[in-house]
Amino acid sequence: MTIYQPQSSAAASKPQRDSAYKTALAQFDRAAQILGLESGLYEILRAPRRELTVNFPVKMDNGEIRCFTGYRVHHNTARGPTKGGIRYSPQVDLEEVRALAMWMTWKCAVVNIPYGGAKGGVVVDPKQLSLRELEALTRRYTTEITPLISPEGDIPAPDMGTNPQVMAWIMDTYSMHRGYSVPAIVTGKPLNIGGSAGRFEATGRGIMFTVREAYRTFGWSFDGIRIAIQGFGNVGSITAQTAHEMGCKVIAVSDIGGGIYNPHGIDIPKLRRFMKEHRSVTEFPEGDRITNAELLTLQCDVLVPAATENQITADNAAQVRARMIAEGANGPTTPEADEILLENNVVVIPDILCNAGGVVVSYFEWVQSLQQLFWEEEDVMHRLERIMVRSFHDVYETALRMDIDLRTAALVLGIGRVAEATRTRGLYP
């Protein structure tokens, strides 16, 4: 049996640009070497199964025709249908979508739900479109990717720049093509068309369930811990709200325009009400203005990067003063930064574990949509907490047994489960 060796692999030696995908591949290579993956299995798991790039026209409000580019990538289907969000962002490219799809594969395996990983995106700034233009773009993009999506094969969800309304348009478009309603085609949709109670809050709450369990496991006091959160969108704001409800002190938050810092704690419910009428947290008067870069280096107990990829790098990792990093975003820490954080004894709860609450409750929503039998929010949250706690201990025990850090343990656990499923299924034909 040939064992994968990074230095001799043609795929590993192929130059990669500095991107989220480069980070994802580097993480995979490290875990693959620890697992001793056969060379053939290594090649299967490292590459996306299929990729679709689409270019499509949309008629704007002024009558102009504009063309947009979109993507949908399926990384792996060994454990079940693919699952992953759709991102609307000017920075989206195929490499980013590949990385996000790969991370979704490992994430679903880490929390042990029967999905593979997928991701989608459109190169667009949704804030620059009218509501009608956004709907037209969504419906046309849905039509373009219809050959890849289905309730049995690939189920999209919201991500950066998309929301429950976008999911409703996707569901309606797909249903019009089929001639009947297909609520299970997407998750993260509004409650009145088959969404799940607790889905909007799931990622943020899952982050705090995981942080609390980590503190309990390490024997650390959780009461009144100081938390700094980069990003105040869906994930960041719900994380802040949940932390506040758990008795934590949120001392700093930020968004794309910058952040605010209050060492005595920010009134999160008041800030969330404030944000319904204002564009940036920097306008909130009860704190000192700071930059996103400054937030990452604040003295705190838990740092939650909940914005975008590659925020903690070799350039700033040594300045991180948090006791723990809980990754709310996908890929916020580069491999080089990981090495520095490990040397400085900073505990990192990796993204594929920490922010998996969203896909867990998406799975619940998919099951409910297929059965047309809906659960109460209390039941959803209880099931979510149970899975996040169990998954943390699965990762922690792997780290102890193999004497590796939590990120590597999560990757070894997730990749190992996908590898096992691939071996069991065999090769076709």
Please answer whether residues 285 and 305 qualify as being in contact, where contact means their C-beta atoms are separated by less than 8 angstroms.
no
Local structure of 225: helix, strand or coil: coil
| CA separation for the pair 339, 212 (Å, rounded) | 24
- Cα distances (Å, whole numbers) of residue 185 to 84, 160, 188, 392: 12, 19, 10, 29
Distances in Å between the alpha carbon of 303 and those of 224, 231, 254, 311, 350?
14, 11, 12, 12, 12
Polymer length of the chain = 429
Q: Is 119 a catalytic residue?
A: yes
As a whole number of angstroms, the distance between CA 145 and CA 54 comes to 8
The DSSP code for 86 is E
CB atoms within 10 A of CB 89: 18
Coil/strand/helix, residue 65: strand
Identify the helix (H) or strand (E) that includes residue 69. strand 65-74
Distance CA 188, CA 234 (A): 12
- Pairing between strand 116-123 and 82-89? parallel
Q: How far apart are the first and last CA of the chain?
A: 21
* Ranges of H-type helices in 309-356: 335-343, 351-354
- For residue 312, the 8-state DSSP code is B
Residue pointed to by tokens 């300045």: 319
Distance (Å, whole) CA 13 – CA 11: 6
CA distances to 72, 111, 243, 379 from 240, rounded to whole Å, are 31, 23, 5, 22
- Residue of 83, 107, 119, 189 with catalytic role: 119
- State whether residue 355 is helix, strand or coil: coil
Task: Tell me how crowded residue 22 is: count the other CB atoms within 10 A of its CB.
Answer: 17
Q: Residues with catalytic annotation? A: 119
